[in-house]
Amino acid sequence: MLSGVSLNLIELGHFAAYLAFFVAIIQALAPLAARVFKAPGLRTLSVNAAPLLFLLTTVGALTIVYSLLTNNFSVLYVASNSNTHLPIFYKVAALWGGHRGSLYLWVWIMTGYTAAVAHHGRSRYPDRLPVIMAVEGALIAGFYGLVLFLSNPFARLFPIPPQGQNMNPLLQDPGMVIHPPMLYMGYVGFSIPFSFAVAALLTNWKSELWIGHTRRWALFAWGFLTAGIIFGAWWSYYVLGWGGYWGWDPVENASFMPWLMGTALIHSISVQERRRMLHTWNIFLIITTFALSLLGTFLVRSGVLASVHAFAAAPGQGIYLLSFMMVVLTLAFGLFLVKGGYQQAEESFISPFSRESMFIWNNVIFTVACASVLLGTLYPLFLQAATGARISVGPPYFDLVMVPIFLIMLVVMAIGPLVSWRKANIAKLRGRLLVPALVGVAFASLVVIVWGPVYWTAPVAVGLVAFVATTIGANVFRAVAQRRKQHHEGLARAFLATVLGNRRHYGGMVVHMGILVMVIGLTGSGLFAESKLVMMAPGDILQVAHERVRFDGTRNIKGPDYTAVQGLLTILNNGAHLRPEQRVFFGSSMQVERPSVNSTPLRDVYVDIGDQHNGKWEIHLFVNPLVNFIWTGGGIVIAGLAFSLSDYVRRRRQVLATSGAVASHS
């Protein structure tokens, strides 16, 4: 039985959320008020409001979590997404397991980013910080309006039911617990570069003075978005039972599009920092990347899509989100068109054969890829709205369009780091590409010889992976050899000194290696997977590829909040056991199939159990080669990003040490 304090603690969170809404409005309007009333001191309200806004939003979030943990079914959100049988781990995750709570998590993360920028900017860009905070405050106020007036997670329910409904059974998995917060950290993180760009346009702030700061926030956002996409693919693979990890679902595409443009942005910023070029283009990329983040939010939470990833929403919520998105983007792009012209590049291209030109091609490829995904995602929605006709644009379109684009991307990834800034030495470039090209051809030929007739993308993808990997290895080898020659160091010492001395560059190389490992996994699992769907009785044996699996029957089991029929299968090749399940969760009539996977570094044996007919069970068996390369490659990408970001920490410590030394001698 809930005590009166527990029952009503949610009202404290509700009150804190309303206070946060008004603080966000003050944060948004303070610089304007300072200008109108000619009171410069009011500008600091925007900066000082940021930590208070985060604190108030945190209070609201904690009261929702406490209500979930204490089964406070007087809260509509708790009663709709949790019950007494739900494990504690998933009760906490229920904060973002439903529509209302997920929106509150979005706002909570945004206030956290805002507080971090306020702390970071006090000593680095104090004169522009109030305007940056004002833009963030306006965004937060807009989302708070949706949370408090249309999707209120604090709403009460009377009479109080004795038991709540269950959390969506498909979301009761560790991968899905991690996936949404990671995506939100990525989506929301791109609001920080957006706020910088809008503040720069409003105040005529030259982009070379702030673009370096935004690169760090963009890298953070990109890293979280990358992790979120990978965890989402992992969840889809291990939970949904269809044997795949990426189906070009519109909601999957909604996260992929800002990832593509965010990747272009990170590379493009490097050109501006090094060559003082692409100023206006970078601002456009920043606004577009955040625009795609808002589009993803609209697609997932407006109810316009029917997807396992999407939330059902009332029409008013979709209209609000669409209106808010249109207002934000109209103002941002309008401001860009009016005032973006002052950001003129200080230098121009000297040669089409230069590293900056390779970065331009990189941007073109990512932009074309994003436009292709955008077209395939939105065209069915526009067609349905205009004519009522329903069509589905699925994997055949995306595979046909995207595979060649990504293969071209691998070529640029290989050549780019070998080309000099300003103007390439063609003879030297040809010499550096000869050995990697021969290695690539050798590996492509090996695929054709070993596997016989295969689809053309297999040898081309493997050849390009070998080509890029060899160029990266040769690049590192040359740098280490040069250091050994200059400093007369041993191999290990020279390697560590080279890599640690330029973490940003070599962290990027590690990211590229992670992408290559993922490409191997995508190629192997995409082109060489085999599967069979059959009816099996106990004792039957099924062979797929070289794997033989015996069906030994079923048994009934009970979980913490579900009952299940568990299939019993044995892989005869290695004696491993597979235990797929059909689960029925308490408080839900949904039957959820949970596959079972036996993994080795080179293949997965993946099985899903369906319905029973006449004493036989429906068994779907997959043999998926190299799937684990996808998850391993994703881990390498995140590790490379972390290593690259550690360069900022190293430089900051050097600056502080130098400042301390100067102070001690003065």
pLDDT of 114 above 80: yes
Instruction: Say how far apart CA 245 and CA 231 lie, in whole Å.
Output: 10
What CA–CA distance (Å, rounded) separates 181 from 203? Answer: 33
Please tell me the distance from the alpha carbon of residue 169 to that of residue 59, in angstroms, as a whole number.
28
The single-letter DSSP state of residue 242 is S
Q: Find the domain containing 432 and state its range.
A: 425-526
Task: Check whether residue 521 and residue 563 sit in a common domain.
Answer: no
Please report, for residues 136, 149, 522, 526, 527, the alpha-carbon distance to residue 399 in angstroms, rounded to integers and kept in the order given: 38, 42, 12, 10, 12
Q: At what angle do helices 250-275 and 355-387 cross, to 10 degrees?
A: 150
Q: Are residues 316 and 403 in the same domain?
A: yes
> Residues of the chain with pLDDT > 90: what percent?
59
Q: Is 197 part of a structural domain of the chain?
A: no
CA distance 212 to 270: 9
Q: Which of 617, 627, 530 is nearest to 569 (CA)?
A: 617
Q: Is 559 within a domain? A: yes
What is the per-residue burial (b if ≥16 Cβ within 10 Å, else e) of 391-411?
eebeeebbeebbbebbebbbe
Q: 142 in a domain, yes or no?
A: yes
Domain count within the chain: 4
Considering 414, 441, 463, which residue would you say is the last residue of a domain? 414
- Let me know whether 155 and 167 are in one domain: yes
Residue 152 contacts residue 32 (beta carbons within 8 Å):
no
Does residue 370 have a pLDDT over 70?
yes
Return the closest-CA partner of residue 212 out of 264, 134, 282.
282
Tell whether 244 and 302 lie within a shared domain. Answer: yes
The stretches of 211-301 forming alpha helices (DSSP H) are 211-239, 250-275, 279-301
- Return the pLDDT at 659: 53
- Model pLDDT, residue 206: 86
Residue partners of 634: CB distance under 8 A and separation at least 6: 226, 227, 230, 514, 518
Is the separation of the CB atoms in 36 and 58 below 8 Å? no
Share the mean pLDDT of the chain: 88
pLDDT tens, position by position, 156-212: 998 999 888 878 787 888 877 888 899 999 999 999 999 999 999 999 888 888 988
In terms of domains, do 72 and 102 share one?
A: yes
* Whole-number pLDDT of residue 632: 96
pLDDT tens by residue, 433-457: 899 999 999 999 999 988 877 888 8
**Same domain membership, residue 263 and residue 154:** no
Same domain assignment for residues 103 and 158: yes
In a domain? residue 76: yes
Distance CA 550, CA 541 (A): 4
Task: Write the pLDDT tens digit of every residue in 229-250.
Answer: 999 999 999 988 899 999 898 8
464 and 331 assigned to the same domain: no
pLDDT at 390 over 80: no
More confident residue, 637 or 313: 637
For residue 136, pLDDT over 90 is answered with: yes
- The per-residue pLDDT for 351 is 65
From 64-78, 341-355, 593-607, the region with the lowest mean pLDDT: 341-355
Nearest Cα residue to 624 out of 641, 643, 601, 642: 601
516 and 465 Cβ atoms separated by less than 8 Å: yes
Let me know if residue 293 belongs to a domain: yes
Beta strand 616-625 with 603-613: parallel, antiparallel or unpaired? Answer: antiparallel
- Cα–Cα distance measured from residue 44 to residue 81, given in angstroms and rounded to the nearest whole number: 41
Q: What are the tokens at 104?
A: 């509150």
Over its C-alpha atoms, the chain yields an Rg (Å, rounded) of 27
Verify that 405 and 467 share a domain, yes or no. no
Q: Which of 203, 186, 189, 187 is nearest to 132 (CA)?
A: 203
pTM of the model: 0.91
Q: Stretch 487-495: mean pLDDT, rounded? A: 89
State whether 398 and 466 are in the same domain. no
Mean pLDDT of 563-572: 95
- 132: nearest Cα among 224, 21, 209, 37: 209
251 and 267 in a single domain? The answer is: yes
Same domain, 243 and 366: yes
Cα end-to-end distance, the chain, whole Å: 67
Sign of CA dihedral 454, 460, 462, 463: positive
